């Protein structure tokens, strides 16, 4: 028969200072873990929300990223004539040649400058993305105008409507703020394709071409037909897949955060063990009494283990509460793929919190097992005699 849970609960309440201190230690560990998971999740959300399932990104064969890719205008002419490419209302193929580079701007976090992606594109490129303007107007073809993503506007003091940015052959006027929902587009600056390519002396080549397939059935065929065309010397990749690959930018921080959390967990399980050993020592006579009343060794073991798990659960919940305020905070991280910064929001998801609580329970189980075993092994008579 199991010892009622109420017994454990009351014990935890009686020793409330110790309980709270131990739980707080576990809470800090859980907060570090949940915070780290929230960071990684926020980053991967930004990438996952970028990219249209019907679209493919065309890069030079061998290139892993837009910035390292070159597609000639000639190849673009061949590309846009491929069958399977959707057309817009005006009957023009939805294929957008784009030029991508990075410019260095001082940001709030790094005053010495951080790289921001600059993308030159035409009307079809805008049409192919799920974006809207938050403020101001779109850049006009042939004008030295740019629009900045909303995260860029938030993080880079110089990238504000009405201000000018200097790159290429001179000044560019910021005319609007771009809202790409939660996507990575918020971290980009957009301008007119032709204007930007002439500024950077790249009139006869672009970095990438974005194409939209007619429907879900034809996207695969379109990608294959582009990949198999030897003359083009390009390769196509589904747009969502391209962005998903970039989530690796968070890998070092993820690894580091988890490492720290595990090390802290080792420390807190020692602390929990200490607390539980003390509990066992103090309640020696009680353990003897429980045995006399008829509870088995197994019930004693279970009872102390459960008490430790309850302790850890309190810690886990506290830890999640501690990490919760992180939700929605914007931060940025550099990607070695785009060679620029992507801004994203921390996302404390229920999944991350669940992981945190399970993590706490593991700490509690490790910390509780040995003391519980000691308690269960006590002989009745010696247990009763101890004070």
Which residue ranges make up the site for other proteins (CB under 8 A)?
Answer: 17-18, 21-22, 24-25, 28-29, 31-32, 35, 60, 62-64, 67-70, 101-104, 109-110, 112-115, 167-169, 200-201, 252-253, 257, 260, 263-264, 266-268, 270-271, 273-275, 277-278, 331-336, 339, 341, 387
Q: Which residues have CB under 8 Å from 68's CB, separation 6+?
A: none
- For the bound state, the minimum distance from the C-beta of residue 285 to other proteins, rounded and expressed in Å, comes to 11
- Identify whether the C-beta of residue 270 lies closer than 8 Å to the C-beta of residue 364: no
Give whichever of 22 and 195 is closer to other proteins, judged by the CB atom.
22
Q: Are 159 and 189 in contact (CB under 8 A)?
A: yes
User: Where are the extended beta strands (E) located within the chain?
Assistant: 55-60, 71-72, 95-105, 114-121, 132-136, 145-149, 164-167, 170-179, 188-192, 205-206, 208-212, 234-238, 330-335, 340-345
CB of 19 to other proteins, least distance (A): 10
Closest approach, Cβ 261 to other proteins, in A, equals 9
Alpha carbons 65 and 102: distance in angstroms, whole number = 13
Minimum CB separation of residue 84 from other proteins in Å reads 27
Between the alpha carbon of residue 320 and those of residues 3, 317, 331, 344, the distances in Å are 29, 5, 20, 20
Q: Could you tell me if 353 and 320 are in contact, meaning their C-beta atoms sit under 8 angstroms apart?
A: yes
Residue with smaller CB distance to other proteins, 213 or 360: 360
Nearer residue to other proteins within complex by CB, 21 or 87: 21
Residue at token pair 């391209």: 242
- Tracing tokens 């930018």 back to the chain, one arrives at 249
CB of 143 to other proteins, least distance (A): 19
Would you say 52 or 245 has its CB closer to other proteins?
Answer: 245
Work out how close the CB of 267 gets to other proteins at its nearest, in angstroms, rounded to a whole number: 4
Q: How many CB atoms are located within 10 Å of the residue 335 CB?
A: 21
Q: What is the 3-state secondary structure (H, E, C) of 338-352?
A: CCEEEEEECCCCHHH
223 or 333: CB nearest other proteins: 333
* Placement of tokens 């200097």 in the chain: 166
Q: Given the complex with other proteins, which of 96 and 268 has the nearer CB atom?
A: 268
Nearer to other proteins, 133 or 258 (CB): 258
Measuring CA to CA, which residue among 241, 234, 302 is closest to residue 3?
302
Q: Which is nearer to other proteins, 37 or 67 (CB)?
A: 67
Taking the CA atoms of the chain, what radius of gyration do you get in angstroms?
30
Pick between residue 10 and residue 61 the one whose CB is nearest to other proteins: 61
Give the shortest CB-32-to-other proteins separation in angstroms.
Answer: 5
The nearest distance, CB 200 to other proteins, in angstroms, is: 7
- The DSSP code sequence of 100-149 is EEEEEE--SS-TT-EEEEEEEE-HHHHHTS--EEEEE-PPPTTSSEEEEE
Closest CB 166 distance from other proteins, rounded Å: 8
At residue 333, φ and ψ (nearest 5 deg) are -145, 145
Q: Closest by alpha carbon to 247, among 50, 34, 30, 35?
A: 50
């Amino acid at each position: 028969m199991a010892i009622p849970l109420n017994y454990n609960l009351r014990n935890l309440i009686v020793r409330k200072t110790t309980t709270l201190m131990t739980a707080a230690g576990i809470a800090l560990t859980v907060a570090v873990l949940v915070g780290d998971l929230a960071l990684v999740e926020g980053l991967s959300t930004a990438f996952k929300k970028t990219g249209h399932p019907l679209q493919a990104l065309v890069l030079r064969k061998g290139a892993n990223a837009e910035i390292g890719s070159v597609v000639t205008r000639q190849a673009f002419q061949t590309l846009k004539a491929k069958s399977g490419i959707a057309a817009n209302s005006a009957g023009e193929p939805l294929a957008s040649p784009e030029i991508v580079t990075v410019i260095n701007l001082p940001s709030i976090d790094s005053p010495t400058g951080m790289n921001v992606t600059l993308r030159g594109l035409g009307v079809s490129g805008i049409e192919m993305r799920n974006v809207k303007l938050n403020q101001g107007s779109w850049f006009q073809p042939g004008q030295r105008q740019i629009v900045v993503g909303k995260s860029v506007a938030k993080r880079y003091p110089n990238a504000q409507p009405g201000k000018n940015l200097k790159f290429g052959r001179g000044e560019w006027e910021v005319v609007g703020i771009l809202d790409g929902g939660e996507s990575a587009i918020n971290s980009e600056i957009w301008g007119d394709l032709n204007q930007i390519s002439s500024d950077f002396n790249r009139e006869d080549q672009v970095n990438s071409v974005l194409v939209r397939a007619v429907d879900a059935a034809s996207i695969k065929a379109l990608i294959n037909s582009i990949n198999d065309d030897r003359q083009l010397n390009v390769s196509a990749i589904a747009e969502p897949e391209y962005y998903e690959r970039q989530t690796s930018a968070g890998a070092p921080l993820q690894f580091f955060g988890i490492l720290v959390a595990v090390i802290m967990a080792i420390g807190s399980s020692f602390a929990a063990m200490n607390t539980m050993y003390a509990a066992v020592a103090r309640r020696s006579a009680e353990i003897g009494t429980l045995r006399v009343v008829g509870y088995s060794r197994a019930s004693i073991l279970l009872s102390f283990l459960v008490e430790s798990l309850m302790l850890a659960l309190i810690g886990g919940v506290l830890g999640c509460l501690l990490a919760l305020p992180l939700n929605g905070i914007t931060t940025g991280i550099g990607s070695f793929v785009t060679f620029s910064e992507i801004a994203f929001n921390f996302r404390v998801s229920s999944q991350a919190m669940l992981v945190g609580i399970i993590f706490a329970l593991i700490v509690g189980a490790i910390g509780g097992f040995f003391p519980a075993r000691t308690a269960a092994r006590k002989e009745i008579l010696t247990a009763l005699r101890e004070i």
